[in-house]
A = this chain, B = another copy of it.
């Protein structure tokens, strides 16, 4: 299935970097820990980092009811962006310096989720995106916690994916001139060793859903 091609999801330059497959969109979203949500407040844009989760073609984010952080009006236009930096691209010229990256940009109204089953499913998706296995391991939210949480759904109907990979795109004269290094310095996000909560009983073992995230 292809992604939409509305005016704002059609890249105006570097079209070769645009991906049009829905699987690419899902892959970029599923690989992230944090998204950046753009809102309009008092006529100005505001961009806030937050966790998120995906179920099929819907992304979920949550805020605190009545709080300023991620305060979204039901139906307000938002933009949700997830970016992975994969490498620093060193070129012979300053002009061709670049980044290798994957980014997904989702546009749409933020729908306030009012159905209790969808709210719980959305929260589960958000928690499982950040910490797979936690929903089963941890205590589920109680009525008071759910009442304090607002969940918003954004449809993936209007979204674009942009990807840059590979070596720099230097101009021929710069390559021919020689004497300057060019290449890619890969950038990776890795997990460090788990730091147990100080209030845990001594000798508590790290559960598999946490330990499994560490490199073998």
Q: Is the interface of A mostly helix, strand, loop or mixed?
A: mixed
Q: Are A194 and B187 in contact (CB under 8 A)?
A: no
Q: How many residues of A contact B (CB 8 A)?
A: 97
Is A49 positioned at the interface, with any CB of B under 8 Å from its CB?
yes
Is residue A204 contacting chain B, with contact meaning CB distance below 8 A? yes
Selected from B38, B145, B201, the residue in CB contact (under 8 A) with A93 is B145
Residue A64 is within 8 A (CB to CB) of chain B in the complex: yes
Task: Say whether B194 contacts A51, CB under 8 Å.
Answer: no
Q: Is residue A19 contacting chain B, with contact meaning CB distance below 8 A?
A: no
Distance to closest chain B CB from A82 (angstroms): 9
Q: For residue A46, which residue of chain B has the nearest CB? A: B79
Check A99–B33 contact: CB distance below 8 A: yes
Q: How far is the CA of A185 from the CA of B87 in the complex (A)?
A: 23
Contact B48 A81 (CB under 8 A): yes
- With A183-B196, A185-B213, A197-B167 as given contacts, are A36 and B45 in contact (CB-CB < 8 Å)? no
Q: Which parts of A84-123 form the interface with B (CB within 8 Å)?
A: 85, 87-88, 90-95, 97, 99, 101, 103, 105, 107, 123
**A58 / chain B contacts, CB cutoff of 8 Å:** none
Known: A12-B67, A196-B183. A101 touches B34 (CB 8 A): yes
Pairwise interchain contact B197-A192, C-beta atoms closer than 8 A: no
A81 touches B49 (CB 8 A): yes
Most chain B CB within 10 A, of A45, A47, A141, A189, is at: A47
Q: A78-B45, A192-B187, A201-B178 are in contact. Are A90 and B38 (CB under 8 A)?
A: no
Task: State whether B81 touches A47 (Cβ < 8 A).
Answer: yes
CB <8 Å contact, A81 and B195: no
Can you list 22 contacts pairing A with B, beta carbon distance less than 8 Å? A8-B41, A8-B44, A8-B46, A11-B68, A12-B68, A12-B71, A33-B187, A34-B99, A34-B101, A44-B77, A45-B79, A47-B47, A47-B79, A47-B105, A88-B191, A90-B210, A94-B138, A97-B130, A99-B130, A181-B196, A183-B194, A184-B194
